[in-house]
Structure 1
C-alpha cells in the first residue's frame, strides 16, 4: 500500500516535470519564438519536489542530488521573475 502511494507520487512528479516541456513548446509556438513561460518554472518546482520526495523514499542519492540541485535553480528563477516584475523599470516598460 505505502509503496504504491510512493510510486504514484513519483509518477505524478515525473508527469509534471515532463509536462513543462509541452508547456514551453506550446508557448513558443504561440509566440513564434522561443519563450519560457512562468508556468514552466512552477511545473519544474512541483515536479522536482515530488521527485525529490520519491527519491528520499527510495534512498537514491544520485536522484536526490540531481533533482535537489535543479530545484534550487528553479526556485531562483521564480525569485528573479518576481523581483523583475516588481522593479519600477518593469512597470514603465510594460506600460509602453
Structure 2
C-alpha cells in the first residue's frame, strides 16, 4: 500500500508534467501556423497543472508555492473565459498514445524541415 506522501508525490509530478506539456502543445501549434499562437489547450493544461501543483503545495505546507500557483489559476480561467467569449472552441481532451491526437494540427514533416533548416 502506498503512503500518503507517495500519493502526493505522484500528484505533484503529474501536475508538473501537465504544466510542462503546455509548452510542447504551444510550440507544436506555433510550428503548424508558422507564427506564435497560444491554443486553448495551453490554457487547459496550465489550469489542470496549476490546480494539481496548488494541491501539492498545500499538502507540503508551502505557502510561497501555493500562492504562486493560485494566482496563475485565476489567469488561466480568465483566458479560457475570454477565448470562449470570442467564439474559440475549447479543444477536446486528447486520447492517450499519440502526439497527433494531442495536437491534431501538428505536422511532423514541417517540424522536421524546420529542424533541418530547410524552411
Q: CA deviation at 1:73?
A: 0.2
Structure 1, unmatched stretches of 5+, are 87-96
1:76 alignment partner in structure 2: 78
TM-score w.r.t. length of structure 1: 0.87
| Cα distance in 1 between the residues matched to 2:86 and 2:6 | 42
Identify which of 10, 15, 36 aligns with 1:13. 15
- Residue 51 of structure 2 aligns to a residue whose secondary structure is helix
2:59 alignment partner in structure 1: 57
CA-based RMSD of the aligned residues comes to: 0.9
> Where has structure 1 moved over 2 Å in runs of 4 or more?
none
2:49 alignment partner in structure 1: 47
Q: CA deviation at 1:84?
A: 1.2
| Cα distance in 2 between the residues matched to 1:12 and 1:43 | 11
1:32 alignment partner in structure 2: 34
| Cα distance in 2 between the residues matched to 1:32 and 1:6 | 39
Structure 2, unmatched stretches of 5+, are 89-119
| Cα distance in 1 between the residues matched to 2:60 and 2:42 | 26
| Cα distance in 2 between the residues matched to 1:84 and 1:61 | 35
